[in-house]
Chain A
Amino acid sequence: MESSELQSERVEVGDDLWAANDDFEKKGWTDGLPIIPPTEDRVARLIAASQRAAQDVIGLVPPRWAPATVEKISINAVMAGCRPEYMPVVIAAVEAITDARLNLYSLQATTGGPAVMLIVNGPIRNTLNINGGANALGEGWRANATMGRCIRLIQRNIGGSYPGTTCKATLGWPGKYSLCIGENEEASPWEPLHVERGFKAEQSTVTAISADSSIRASDLDSTKAEGILTNFAKRMEGPSGPEAIMVICPEHARIIANDGFSKRDVKQYVWQRAAYFMKDVPDETFYQRAKRRPDLNLKRSSVIPVTDQPEDILVVVAGGDGSQSQYIHVWGQSTPEGGSTRSVTKAIQV
C-alpha cells in the first residue's frame, strides 16, 4: 500500500517508545495503558489483512458520529496491540457496535458506564486462539485482550467518548478496558449463541452487547440443575437492561443439561425466579418505577422479572474447570418499544 493512500494526520514522535506513549497520553488518545505507535507500515499491514479498502466506512461512531474507516480502525487496532489476522473480527465488531440496534450513543454517554462486550463464536476462535476456556473473563490471551481494547479505543478516538466530559460514566468498571470472550462451544452441551441466532455452526460471528457489571454465580454445593439455576436467579434479582447474560461454566452446564434442561428451559426457569418484588421496595422507589413504566400497570403485588421475556436472557458457556459461573448485567432500559439497547450479532468475513 502506498503511504499516500493513508489520509490520517501524521504525528512525529521520534523513536523512543516511552516518549511516544507520553505524547499519545497527553493528546488523550490512550486508555491509560501503553500503546503500540501506529506507524504507516503497521497500519498498512492491518489494512491489508482486513481485505478492505483503507477508506471504506464501516460505520459512524457516536457521539461525534465520525466515520470509522478501515484506516482509522486499523490505527486503533495497532495501538491496542492487535495482530493483522484479527482484523476480520475487529471489522465485524465495528459493524456490530455501529448498528443502530445497539444504540452505542447511549452506551457512550450514560452515567451507567457500560463496556461493549464481544462474544465470538465459530471456527475463528480456534484459528486466532480466542479464549473461551479457563480464565475466559480474565487476562492472558492476546486476541481477547487486544480486540476488546481496540473497540474501546475506537469508541474513544473515533467516537469522541472521553471519560469525565462526553462520557459521563460515574464509576465505569474494569470491563471498559477490554471485554472479549469466545464461547466454549466444545464444552457446551447446547447449541452455541450464534446458532441460536440463525447462523450456521461453521460460520464465525461476533456479538456486541452492553455490559456494566459482573456478579459471581458460584455454586460448589448443588448437584442438580434446580440448585444451580436457583442460585443464579438469586444473583439476577432486579431488572437488567433489555437483556441479561448468563456465563455458565462447563461443569454447571453439564449438570444442568444432564437434568434435561435445554437453553430455552434454563432461560425460562431463571426468568421465573429472578424477580424484583414491588412489595419489598420503599414507597418512593415504587412510585418512580410505576411512573417510568406505565405500560406495566405496576401494583404493590407486582413482580418485575430480570428481562421482559425469557428469550432476552443470553446463555453462553465459557470457562475452565471449577464451579464458578457469572452473571453479567446489561446496561440499558426495558421500554415498551423494545429496549434502549439490543445485542447485535454480525458474521465475520474470512
Chain B
Amino acid sequence: MTIITHAFDALAKSEKDAFGAPDHPVLVVQHPIGTVKPDEVNKRADAAFGMLIDMLLEPQLGKVAVGR
C-alpha cells in the first residue's frame, strides 16, 4: 500500500509498471501536503483513514482517490 498526493499519479504508475506490480494499491490524497497547515493535513488524514483501512483489508480495490 502506498499513499501519494495526486501530483505524483504518473510517477506512481511508472513505478508500478517498472516493478511489475500494476495492481499495487495506491491511495491518492490531494496535493499539496508540505505547505498546508497542520489542521488541514489532519482533516485530510481523517478523511482518508477509512478508505486506507478498507484498502488494507481489500487490496483489490486498487487505486482510489480521496479528497480531490
State the A residues within 8 Å of B (CB).
Answer: 63-66, 109, 111, 160, 165-166, 168
A160 to B16, CA, bound (A): 13
**Residue of B17, B18, B19 most packed against chain A (CB within 10 A):** B18
A64 to B17, CA, bound (A): 8
Interface SS of chain A: loop
A65 to B11, CA, bound (A): 12
- Whether B14 lies near A63 (C-beta < 8 A) is yes
Partner pick for A64 among B7, B8, B10, B14, CB 8 A cutoff: B14
Question: Residue of A at shortest CB range from B17?
Answer: A64
How far in angstroms is the closest Cβ of chain B from A161?
9
Interface SS of chain B: helix
- Whether B11 lies near A168 (C-beta < 8 A) is yes
- Whether B18 lies near A165 (C-beta < 8 A) is no
Please name all residues of chain B whose beta carbon is closer than 8 Å to the beta carbon of A166 when the two chains form the complex.
10-11, 14
- Whether A65 lies near B8 (C-beta < 8 A) is no
10 nearest CB pairs, A to B: A165-B10, A166-B11, A65-B18, A64-B18, A166-B14, A63-B14, A166-B10, A109-B11, A63-B15, A160-B14
Please name all residues of chain A whose beta carbon is closer than 8 Å to the beta carbon of B14 when the two chains form the complex.
63-64, 160, 166
How far in angstroms is the closest Cβ of chain A from B38?
9
Question: Residue of B at shortest CB range from A160?
Answer: B14
Instruction: Convert B29-67 into 0s and 1s, putting 1 for each residue whose CB lies closer than 8 angstroms to a CB of A.
Output: 000000000000000000000000000000000000000
Question: Residue of B at shortest CB range from A287?
Answer: B38
How far in angstroms is the closest Cβ of chain A from B67?
19
Please name all residues of chain A whose beta carbon is closer than 8 Å to the beta carbon of B10 when the two chains form the complex.
165-166
